[in-house]
Structure 1
Amino acid sequence: MENTATENGYWKDAKGNLVAPENIRESDRLADSIVRELYADAKRINEELVKFKQHALDDIRTHLALVVEKYGIKLRGKKGNRVLYSFDGAIKITINIQDRIKFGEELVAAEVLINECMAEWTHDANPNLRTIVEKAFQADSEGKISVYRVLDLLRLEIDDERWRKAMTAIKDSIRVIDSKEYVRVYERDDSGEYKALPLNIAVA
Protein backbone atom coordinates (compact mmCIF):
# COMPACT_ATOMS: atom_id res chain seq x y z
CA MET A 1 0.00 0.00 0.00
CA GLU A 2 1.70 3.18 -1.19
CA ASN A 3 1.49 6.67 0.24
CA THR A 4 -1.44 8.65 -1.12
CA ALA A 5 0.18 10.87 -3.72
CA THR A 6 -0.96 13.16 -6.51
CA GLU A 7 -0.35 12.34 -10.14
CA ASN A 8 2.78 14.45 -10.16
CA GLY A 9 4.37 12.32 -7.43
CA TYR A 10 3.95 14.55 -4.39
CA TRP A 11 3.33 12.87 -1.03
CA LYS A 12 0.54 13.99 1.30
CA ASP A 13 1.55 14.51 4.94
CA ALA A 14 -0.60 14.21 8.11
CA LYS A 15 -1.89 17.77 7.70
CA GLY A 16 -2.86 17.25 4.09
CA ASN A 17 0.09 19.22 2.72
CA LEU A 18 1.81 18.03 -0.44
CA VAL A 19 5.53 17.35 -0.07
CA ALA A 20 7.99 16.80 -2.89
CA PRO A 21 9.61 13.33 -2.75
CA GLU A 22 13.12 14.80 -2.60
CA ASN A 23 12.17 16.63 0.61
CA ILE A 24 11.17 13.46 2.44
CA ARG A 25 13.81 11.87 4.69
CA GLU A 26 14.82 8.31 3.97
CA SER A 27 13.87 7.27 7.53
CA ASP A 28 10.34 8.63 6.96
CA ARG A 29 10.10 6.77 3.67
CA LEU A 30 11.15 3.54 5.39
CA ALA A 31 8.73 4.03 8.28
CA ASP A 32 5.91 4.74 5.81
CA SER A 33 6.69 1.55 3.91
CA ILE A 34 6.83 -0.61 7.08
CA VAL A 35 3.61 0.84 8.50
CA ARG A 36 1.69 0.36 5.27
CA GLU A 37 2.89 -3.23 4.81
CA LEU A 38 1.97 -4.12 8.39
CA TYR A 39 -1.38 -2.35 8.01
CA ALA A 40 -2.15 -4.41 4.90
CA ASP A 41 -1.34 -7.63 6.79
CA ALA A 42 -3.38 -6.54 9.82
CA LYS A 43 -6.32 -5.61 7.59
CA ARG A 44 -6.22 -9.03 5.96
CA ILE A 45 -6.07 -10.80 9.35
CA ASN A 46 -8.93 -8.65 10.64
CA GLU A 47 -11.07 -9.60 7.66
CA GLU A 48 -10.26 -13.27 8.24
CA LEU A 49 -11.27 -12.97 11.92
CA VAL A 50 -14.57 -11.34 10.93
CA LYS A 51 -15.22 -14.20 8.50
CA PHE A 52 -14.26 -16.77 11.15
CA LYS A 53 -16.62 -15.26 13.72
CA GLN A 54 -19.57 -15.27 11.32
CA HIS A 55 -18.70 -18.79 10.15
CA ALA A 56 -18.53 -20.01 13.77
CA LEU A 57 -21.81 -18.34 14.72
CA ASP A 58 -23.61 -19.76 11.67
CA ASP A 59 -22.28 -23.29 12.23
CA ILE A 60 -23.09 -23.39 15.94
CA ARG A 61 -26.56 -21.92 15.47
CA THR A 62 -27.30 -24.43 12.70
CA HIS A 63 -26.10 -27.30 14.88
CA LEU A 64 -28.19 -26.20 17.87
CA ALA A 65 -31.26 -25.67 15.69
CA LEU A 66 -30.96 -29.21 14.33
CA VAL A 67 -30.49 -30.64 17.84
CA VAL A 68 -33.63 -29.01 19.26
CA GLU A 69 -35.71 -29.48 16.12
CA LYS A 70 -36.41 -33.10 16.96
CA TYR A 71 -38.11 -31.91 20.15
CA GLY A 72 -40.38 -29.59 18.19
CA ILE A 73 -38.61 -26.48 19.45
CA LYS A 74 -37.38 -23.52 17.43
CA LEU A 75 -34.62 -21.28 18.74
CA ARG A 76 -35.58 -17.62 18.74
CA GLY A 77 -33.26 -14.66 19.09
CA LYS A 78 -29.65 -14.64 20.22
CA LYS A 79 -30.07 -14.67 23.99
CA GLY A 80 -28.19 -17.26 26.01
CA ASN A 81 -24.59 -18.40 26.05
CA ARG A 82 -23.66 -21.56 24.16
CA VAL A 83 -20.89 -24.11 24.70
CA LEU A 84 -19.75 -26.92 22.40
CA TYR A 85 -17.04 -29.53 23.08
CA SER A 86 -15.06 -31.80 20.84
CA PHE A 87 -15.79 -35.50 21.41
CA ASP A 88 -12.60 -35.98 23.43
CA GLY A 89 -13.21 -32.81 25.45
CA ALA A 90 -9.88 -31.32 24.38
CA ILE A 91 -11.47 -28.32 22.65
CA LYS A 92 -14.24 -26.04 23.82
CA ILE A 93 -15.91 -23.26 21.83
CA THR A 94 -18.25 -20.78 23.45
CA ILE A 95 -20.60 -18.08 22.24
CA ASN A 96 -21.11 -15.40 24.85
CA ILE A 97 -23.73 -12.66 24.71
CA GLN A 98 -22.77 -9.39 26.33
CA ASP A 99 -25.29 -6.59 26.73
CA ARG A 100 -24.14 -2.99 26.39
CA ILE A 101 -25.78 -0.94 29.12
CA LYS A 102 -26.36 2.73 29.83
CA PHE A 103 -28.27 4.44 32.63
CA GLY A 104 -31.43 6.50 32.41
CA GLU A 105 -32.46 9.55 34.42
CA GLU A 106 -33.46 7.38 37.40
CA LEU A 107 -29.78 7.20 38.26
CA VAL A 108 -29.97 10.84 39.40
CA ALA A 109 -32.56 9.87 42.02
CA ALA A 110 -30.37 6.99 43.15
CA GLU A 111 -27.37 9.26 43.59
CA VAL A 112 -29.41 11.78 45.64
CA LEU A 113 -30.76 9.07 47.94
CA ILE A 114 -27.31 7.51 48.40
CA ASN A 115 -25.77 10.90 49.15
CA GLU A 116 -28.44 11.45 51.81
CA CYS A 117 -27.51 8.14 53.39
CA MET A 118 -23.79 8.91 53.30
CA ALA A 119 -24.33 12.38 54.82
CA GLU A 120 -26.22 10.84 57.72
CA TRP A 121 -23.71 8.05 58.16
CA THR A 122 -20.68 10.36 57.93
CA HIS A 123 -19.30 9.50 61.34
CA ASP A 124 -20.19 5.83 61.43
CA ALA A 125 -19.78 4.86 57.76
CA ASN A 126 -17.06 2.41 56.84
CA PRO A 127 -14.35 4.28 54.87
CA ASN A 128 -14.31 1.47 52.33
CA LEU A 129 -18.04 1.93 51.75
CA ARG A 130 -17.58 5.67 51.20
CA THR A 131 -14.84 4.97 48.65
CA ILE A 132 -17.03 2.48 46.76
CA VAL A 133 -19.95 4.91 46.65
CA GLU A 134 -17.86 7.92 45.65
CA LYS A 135 -16.13 6.04 42.83
CA ALA A 136 -19.41 4.63 41.54
CA PHE A 137 -20.67 8.04 40.45
CA GLN A 138 -17.36 9.48 39.23
CA ALA A 139 -17.46 10.19 35.50
CA ASP A 140 -14.43 9.50 33.31
CA SER A 141 -12.76 11.99 30.97
CA GLU A 142 -15.60 11.48 28.47
CA GLY A 143 -18.28 12.14 31.07
CA LYS A 144 -19.31 8.47 31.28
CA ILE A 145 -20.13 6.68 34.53
CA SER A 146 -18.75 3.16 35.00
CA VAL A 147 -21.54 0.61 34.58
CA TYR A 148 -19.65 -1.96 36.63
CA ARG A 149 -19.05 0.34 39.60
CA VAL A 150 -22.70 1.36 39.77
CA LEU A 151 -23.91 -2.24 39.47
CA ASP A 152 -21.52 -3.22 42.27
CA LEU A 153 -23.66 -1.12 44.61
CA LEU A 154 -26.51 -3.59 44.08
CA ARG A 155 -24.44 -6.24 45.85
CA LEU A 156 -24.30 -4.26 49.09
CA GLU A 157 -26.84 -5.37 51.68
CA ILE A 158 -27.75 -2.27 53.72
CA ASP A 159 -30.82 -2.10 55.94
CA ASP A 160 -32.05 1.39 55.16
CA GLU A 161 -35.25 2.32 53.34
CA ARG A 162 -33.57 5.12 51.36
CA TRP A 163 -30.77 2.77 50.30
CA ARG A 164 -33.31 0.20 49.11
CA LYS A 165 -35.13 2.89 47.13
CA ALA A 166 -31.81 3.94 45.63
CA MET A 167 -31.10 0.36 44.54
CA THR A 168 -34.56 0.17 42.97
CA ALA A 169 -33.85 3.42 41.12
CA ILE A 170 -30.58 1.97 39.82
CA LYS A 171 -32.37 -1.13 38.55
CA ASP A 172 -35.04 1.02 36.90
CA SER A 173 -32.35 3.16 35.26
CA ILE A 174 -30.72 0.28 33.39
CA ARG A 175 -31.15 0.44 29.63
CA VAL A 176 -29.85 -2.30 27.30
CA ILE A 177 -28.59 -0.51 24.20
CA ASP A 178 -27.55 -3.57 22.23
CA SER A 179 -25.99 -7.00 22.56
CA LYS A 180 -22.71 -8.25 21.16
CA GLU A 181 -21.69 -11.85 20.55
CA TYR A 182 -18.21 -13.16 21.28
CA VAL A 183 -16.75 -16.42 19.99
CA ARG A 184 -14.04 -17.91 22.19
CA VAL A 185 -11.98 -21.02 21.51
CA TYR A 186 -10.33 -22.99 24.32
CA GLU A 187 -7.90 -25.90 24.37
CA ARG A 188 -7.33 -28.18 27.35
CA ASP A 189 -3.77 -28.31 28.68
CA ASP A 190 -1.97 -31.20 30.40
CA SER A 191 -3.42 -30.23 33.78
CA GLY A 192 -6.97 -30.41 32.44
CA GLU A 193 -7.52 -26.64 32.49
CA TYR A 194 -9.06 -24.89 29.49
CA LYS A 195 -6.87 -22.10 28.13
CA ALA A 196 -8.25 -19.54 25.71
CA LEU A 197 -6.74 -19.51 22.24
CA PRO A 198 -5.86 -15.81 21.77
CA LEU A 199 -7.76 -14.30 18.84
CA ASN A 200 -6.98 -10.76 20.00
CA ILE A 201 -3.64 -9.33 18.90
CA ALA A 202 -3.43 -7.38 22.18
CA VAL A 203 -3.28 -10.57 24.27
CA ALA A 204 -1.62 -12.99 21.85
Structure 2
Amino acid sequence: MGNATHEGFWKDAKGNLVAPENVRESDKLADEVVRDLFAEAKNINAALVAFKQKALDDIRTHLALVVEKYDVKLRGKKGNRVLSTFDGSIKVTINIQDRIRFGEELVAAELLINECMAEWTHDANPNLRTIVEKAFQADSEGKISVYRVLDLLRLQIDDERWRKAMKAIQDSIRVIDSKEYVRIYTRDENGEYQALSLNIAQA
Protein backbone atom coordinates (compact mmCIF):
# COMPACT_ATOMS: atom_id res chain seq x y z
CA MET A 1 0.00 0.00 0.00
CA GLY A 2 1.39 3.40 -1.01
CA ASN A 3 4.59 4.21 0.81
CA ALA A 4 4.99 0.83 2.53
CA THR A 5 8.14 -1.17 1.71
CA HIS A 6 8.09 -4.87 0.95
CA GLU A 7 8.81 -5.52 4.63
CA GLY A 8 5.69 -3.54 5.51
CA PHE A 9 7.52 -0.56 6.99
CA TRP A 10 6.78 3.04 5.99
CA LYS A 11 9.52 5.50 5.06
CA ASP A 12 9.14 8.99 6.56
CA ALA A 13 10.39 12.32 5.16
CA LYS A 14 13.81 11.80 6.76
CA GLY A 15 14.22 8.34 5.26
CA ASN A 16 13.55 6.52 8.51
CA LEU A 17 11.57 3.27 8.43
CA VAL A 18 8.45 3.33 10.62
CA ALA A 19 6.42 0.30 11.64
CA PRO A 20 2.91 0.38 10.12
CA GLU A 21 1.25 0.35 13.54
CA ASN A 22 3.07 3.59 14.35
CA VAL A 23 1.71 5.40 11.28
CA ARG A 24 -1.62 7.16 11.78
CA GLU A 25 -4.50 5.99 9.60
CA SER A 26 -5.06 9.59 8.48
CA ASP A 27 -1.44 9.75 7.26
CA LYS A 28 -1.86 6.46 5.40
CA LEU A 29 -5.03 7.73 3.72
CA ALA A 30 -3.38 11.05 2.83
CA ASP A 31 -0.43 9.15 1.35
CA GLU A 32 -2.77 7.08 -0.83
CA VAL A 33 -4.76 10.12 -2.02
CA VAL A 34 -1.63 12.10 -2.88
CA ARG A 35 0.00 9.19 -4.74
CA ASP A 36 -3.18 8.56 -6.76
CA LEU A 37 -3.46 12.23 -7.70
CA PHE A 38 0.24 12.35 -8.57
CA ALA A 39 -0.14 9.38 -10.93
CA GLU A 40 -3.07 11.07 -12.69
CA ALA A 41 -1.23 14.40 -12.81
CA LYS A 42 1.78 12.74 -14.46
CA ASN A 43 -0.48 11.40 -17.20
CA ILE A 44 -2.07 14.82 -17.69
CA ASN A 45 1.36 16.46 -17.77
CA ALA A 46 2.58 13.97 -20.38
CA ALA A 47 -0.52 14.67 -22.48
CA LEU A 48 0.08 18.45 -22.25
CA VAL A 49 3.73 18.02 -23.27
CA ALA A 50 2.69 15.86 -26.23
CA PHE A 51 -0.02 18.37 -27.20
CA LYS A 52 2.42 21.29 -27.09
CA GLN A 53 4.87 19.47 -29.35
CA LYS A 54 2.08 18.51 -31.76
CA ALA A 55 0.84 22.12 -31.84
CA LEU A 56 4.33 23.45 -32.57
CA ASP A 57 4.92 20.83 -35.27
CA ASP A 58 1.52 21.42 -36.92
CA ILE A 59 1.94 25.21 -37.00
CA ARG A 60 5.51 25.03 -38.30
CA THR A 61 4.44 22.60 -41.00
CA HIS A 62 1.58 24.87 -42.01
CA LEU A 63 3.80 27.95 -42.15
CA ALA A 64 6.45 26.11 -44.12
CA LEU A 65 3.84 25.11 -46.70
CA VAL A 66 2.53 28.68 -46.93
CA VAL A 67 5.99 30.10 -47.52
CA GLU A 68 6.86 27.41 -50.03
CA LYS A 69 3.60 27.77 -51.98
CA TYR A 70 3.20 31.54 -51.99
CA ASP A 71 6.72 32.74 -51.27
CA VAL A 72 5.44 35.39 -48.88
CA LYS A 73 6.97 36.98 -45.80
CA LEU A 74 5.61 35.83 -42.48
CA ARG A 75 4.29 38.67 -40.33
CA GLY A 76 5.15 39.36 -36.75
CA LYS A 77 8.30 39.20 -34.70
CA LYS A 78 10.72 36.36 -35.19
CA GLY A 79 9.32 33.23 -33.60
CA ASN A 80 5.95 34.74 -32.62
CA ARG A 81 3.09 33.45 -34.74
CA VAL A 82 -0.70 33.68 -34.76
CA LEU A 83 -3.13 31.41 -36.60
CA SER A 84 -6.91 31.72 -36.45
CA THR A 85 -10.02 30.01 -37.74
CA PHE A 86 -11.72 31.48 -40.80
CA ASP A 87 -14.44 33.08 -38.65
CA GLY A 88 -11.94 34.40 -36.12
CA SER A 89 -13.63 32.59 -33.24
CA ILE A 90 -10.48 30.69 -32.26
CA LYS A 91 -6.82 31.62 -32.46
CA VAL A 92 -3.61 29.85 -31.57
CA THR A 93 -0.45 31.76 -30.78
CA ILE A 94 3.18 30.74 -30.42
CA ASN A 95 5.25 33.11 -28.29
CA ILE A 96 8.98 33.03 -27.70
CA GLN A 97 10.14 34.22 -24.29
CA ASP A 98 13.82 34.66 -23.54
CA ARG A 99 15.10 33.86 -20.06
CA ILE A 100 17.84 36.28 -19.14
CA ARG A 101 20.34 37.01 -16.40
CA PHE A 102 22.68 39.93 -15.79
CA GLY A 103 26.44 39.99 -16.21
CA GLU A 104 29.04 41.90 -14.21
CA GLU A 105 28.24 45.14 -16.04
CA LEU A 106 25.23 45.44 -13.74
CA VAL A 107 27.62 46.33 -10.90
CA ALA A 108 28.82 49.37 -12.85
CA ALA A 109 25.22 50.35 -13.56
CA GLU A 110 24.31 50.20 -9.87
CA LEU A 111 27.35 52.29 -8.88
CA LEU A 112 26.53 54.96 -11.48
CA ILE A 113 22.89 55.07 -10.41
CA ASN A 114 23.90 55.34 -6.75
CA GLU A 115 26.08 58.33 -7.66
CA CYS A 116 23.08 59.98 -9.27
CA MET A 117 20.82 59.20 -6.31
CA ALA A 118 23.40 60.58 -3.85
CA GLU A 119 23.60 63.84 -5.77
CA TRP A 120 19.85 64.10 -6.26
CA THR A 121 19.02 63.23 -2.64
CA HIS A 122 17.15 66.42 -1.90
CA ASP A 123 15.55 66.97 -5.29
CA ALA A 124 14.83 63.43 -6.41
CA ASN A 125 11.22 62.31 -6.63
CA PRO A 126 10.54 59.81 -3.77
CA ASN A 127 8.84 57.51 -6.28
CA LEU A 128 12.00 57.46 -8.39
CA ARG A 129 14.11 56.57 -5.36
CA THR A 130 11.74 53.71 -4.51
CA ILE A 131 11.87 52.33 -8.05
CA VAL A 132 15.68 52.47 -8.11
CA GLU A 133 16.13 50.97 -4.63
CA LYS A 134 13.74 48.09 -5.34
CA ALA A 135 15.39 47.35 -8.69
CA PHE A 136 18.60 46.18 -7.05
CA GLN A 137 17.07 44.41 -4.06
CA ALA A 138 17.86 40.70 -4.12
CA ASP A 139 15.29 38.12 -3.06
CA SER A 140 15.82 35.38 -0.47
CA GLU A 141 17.81 33.39 -3.05
CA GLY A 142 20.07 36.33 -3.86
CA LYS A 143 18.47 36.92 -7.26
CA ILE A 144 17.72 40.38 -8.64
CA SER A 145 14.38 40.93 -10.37
CA VAL A 146 14.89 41.08 -14.12
CA TYR A 147 11.69 43.03 -14.62
CA ARG A 148 12.52 45.72 -12.05
CA VAL A 149 15.96 46.32 -13.53
CA LEU A 150 14.62 46.44 -17.09
CA ASP A 151 11.97 48.92 -15.96
CA LEU A 152 14.80 51.41 -15.31
CA LEU A 153 15.47 51.49 -19.06
CA ARG A 154 12.08 53.15 -19.54
CA LEU A 155 13.02 56.16 -17.42
CA GLN A 156 14.11 59.13 -19.51
CA ILE A 157 16.63 61.07 -17.42
CA ASP A 158 18.93 63.68 -18.92
CA ASP A 159 22.15 62.85 -17.13
CA GLU A 160 25.30 61.43 -18.70
CA ARG A 161 25.93 59.07 -15.77
CA TRP A 162 22.37 57.80 -15.97
CA ARG A 163 22.75 57.16 -19.71
CA LYS A 164 25.98 55.27 -19.05
CA ALA A 165 24.20 53.24 -16.37
CA MET A 166 21.43 52.32 -18.82
CA LYS A 167 24.05 51.31 -21.40
CA ALA A 168 25.72 49.14 -18.74
CA ILE A 169 22.37 47.46 -18.01
CA GLN A 170 21.84 46.76 -21.70
CA ASP A 171 25.37 45.34 -22.00
CA SER A 172 24.82 43.16 -18.92
CA ILE A 173 21.88 41.26 -20.41
CA ARG A 174 22.65 37.62 -21.15
CA VAL A 175 20.07 35.36 -22.84
CA ILE A 176 20.26 31.98 -21.10
CA ASP A 177 17.64 30.20 -23.17
CA SER A 178 14.33 30.68 -24.95
CA LYS A 179 11.04 28.98 -24.22
CA GLU A 180 8.10 28.57 -26.57
CA TYR A 181 4.54 28.99 -25.31
CA VAL A 182 1.43 27.77 -27.12
CA ARG A 183 -1.73 29.65 -26.17
CA ILE A 184 -5.26 29.08 -27.44
CA TYR A 185 -8.00 31.72 -27.31
CA THR A 186 -11.73 31.67 -28.04
CA ARG A 187 -14.10 34.60 -28.47
CA ASP A 188 -16.74 35.06 -25.80
CA GLU A 189 -20.24 36.45 -26.27
CA ASN A 190 -18.82 39.98 -26.09
CA GLY A 191 -16.33 39.32 -28.87
CA GLU A 192 -13.34 39.36 -26.51
CA TYR A 193 -10.67 36.69 -26.69
CA GLN A 194 -10.42 34.51 -23.59
CA ALA A 195 -7.50 32.17 -23.03
CA LEU A 196 -8.22 28.46 -22.78
CA SER A 197 -6.33 27.44 -19.67
CA LEU A 198 -3.79 24.66 -20.21
CA ASN A 199 -2.24 25.33 -16.80
CA ILE A 200 -3.60 23.21 -13.95
CA ALA A 201 -2.88 26.06 -11.51
CA GLN A 202 -5.13 28.41 -13.51
CA ALA A 203 -7.90 25.97 -14.43
**TM beyond 0.5:** yes
Offset at 1:127? Answer: 0.4
Structure 1 unmatched ranges of 5 or more: none
Offset at 1:144? Answer: 0.6
Find the counterpart in structure 1 of residue 143 from structure 2: 144
Task: Please show how residues 4-153 of structure 1 align to structure 2 within 5 Å.
Answer: 4-72=3-71, 79-153=78-152
Rounded Cα–Cα distance in structure 2 between residues aligned with 1:93 and 1:189: 15
Rounded Cα–Cα distance in structure 1 between residues aligned with 2:29 and 2:2: 11
Find the counterpart in structure 2 of residue 180 from structure 1: 179
Rounded Cα–Cα distance in structure 1 between residues aligned with 2:24 and 2:118: 63
Rounded Cα–Cα distance in structure 1 between residues aligned with 2:59 and 2:129: 46
Deviation per CA, 1:52-85: give whole Å up to 9, x if none.
100100000110111111245799xx94211010
Rounded Cα–Cα distance in structure 1 between residues aligned with 2:20 and 2:107: 58
SS at match of 1:70: helix
Identical amino acids, percent of aligned pairs: 82
Residue identity in the other structure for 2:21: E
Rounded Cα–Cα distance in structure 1 between residues aligned with 2:185 and 2:26: 42
Task: Please show how residues 166-177 of structure 1 align to structure 2 within 5 Å.
Answer: 166-177=165-176
Q: What is the TM-score of this pair, normalised by structure 1?
A: 0.94
SS at match of 2:157: coil
Deviation per CA, 1:157-198: give whole Å up to 9, x if none.
101111111111111111101000000011100110000011
Rounded Cα–Cα distance in structure 2 between residues aligned with 1:122 and 1:22: 67
Rounded Cα–Cα distance in structure 1 between residues aligned with 2:73 and 2:48: 29
Rounded Cα–Cα distance in structure 1 between residues aligned with 2:7 and 2:125: 71
Residue identity in the other structure for 1:137: F
Structure 2 unmatched ranges of 5 or more: none
Count residues in correspondence: 201
Deviation per CA, 1:65-116: give whole Å up to 9, x if none.
11111245799xx942110101111101100000001011111111111111
Kindly report structure 1 stretches of 4+ aligned residues shifted beyond 4 Å: 71-75
Offset at 1:153? Answer: 0.5
2:135 matched to 1:158?
no
Rounded Cα–Cα distance in structure 1 between residues aligned with 2:171 and 2:7: 62
Deviation per CA, 1:122-153: give whole Å up to 9, x if none.
11000000000000111111111111001100
